[in-house]
Structure 1
């Protein structure tokens, strides 16, 4: 018992709304009590995630922005007062990707391998993707894409409505994902009405996802909230320019395009279709100038989102938490 008393505990929150269930039954079976934390709502005191957070010395999330957001009423799911009271012990550390797993220079799924210094070799991937999906093979038409779980969180409905507002602009769109049947039905109807330039693939298909990252010009991530997100990281690694909502890890990893060779993608604010449509319109404008567009691609591909940086941050936190426990400063939360 003494050994455990000196051991620090850290709990990582990935997606706060998913708090678990059935905690009350388990507590009763093991003779344990619900949380007594007064800042926790009554309904949360027997749920697994809030229980874990109450008893953890530190709480981490998968991005700095999400760590701040969950301490607000907009994103805190009713736990914001409790989380804000622990703000000194809430830390956001970005997720990462494995560059050996996600490597366009050696990806067997692709029609043509390429890297940061050979972007011209990326072009056959767009043509191959268009042909495989039955889209007109048009190298100059911007190809927009989403690879997403079809859930209200991911903002698929926002993307469909925004694209409806851009009917006067030339573009192609592919959506890969499965999930909520209502969203699937809406996406299917959207694609059927625009079958010359839209494709919806209702599936989980890792190989096709890689081909989309390598062939698309723009990858959309219009999430209503996003703890971290990997889509935008993979997109940049593969030379697809991310267009994301300014929330959570999306905001932390994509810097807004600006004239003068700055930025790695495009961001928009309100979770509303008009704002997304304006952002897409802006991206299409930059796409028309391939010199600027290639600069955007290269800046994205040059970003370091490997696990090395994340692992270093976690190691530093573990050492800090252990030192705090050892010295007794602050004690248990």
Structure 2
């Protein structure tokens, strides 16, 4: 693949978290509510452990980025410092202060990885080893080191850069130049992504919102890539707070299974109990309470470019919009 093609091969992720004033609240027992941290508390905590960057708007939207932790977007809030912090923060790992070659799991709403994870061209397993969990290691280029901030102080975004060297399980070496932009979304972005009705709802006084975009670009700075030696693709991952009344919503394209594949793959870690996974005519519902190790997926032919979750306990709707191959 030529460098010019890789300049345009990017992943765009937009996360909009809205507190819905008129959404019916499902009641929970007091002991189930937990102790969610405010954005200000998370901000103070993270600033004691690493350098932080922030994007802020006049409506109370705030986004916190940690360039030293591989350029992660760690958290966001739609209600200023006192607002709920939306990103999962792995305090146990951070407090321990011990790097883990398998995975430095700081948490965070948006991090940059590369795939494939497994198979003959895996980036996670060395040559000749069994592809089992004990031999699974995040490539150091993705797991360690700071990203360099190259945006200017007056830019309305943060741009970070990292040069990476990786080797897949077939021995193919990659030299990559990666840039990553993070910016707050505005009204025109919301209208473009979700339509005028959504914009009107977000602009009402009963709804508070924060939206941001990450744009991730990979340029091949090494030898031309070949399919028979392995390729790489952008893989963006997000970690959000679980809750006893949080439901993940995955819309999908309807159609014949022989053509599009099964609606959902749900046996990554064994079968999922039916009360935790529901397939509706247009969407997959998946319980996000964090009490059961499970994972779901759907085929590229069925996937739409949006997914989300609803936290009925805190009245928080999260939407993730992303680019897909044409």
Query: What's the TM-score once normalised by structure 1's chain length?
Result: 0.22
* Larger RCO, structures 1/2 (Cα 8 Å, 6+ apart): 2
Query: What's the TM-score once normalised by structure 2's chain length?
Result: 0.22
* More helix by percentage: 1
Higher Rg = 1
* More strand by percentage: 2
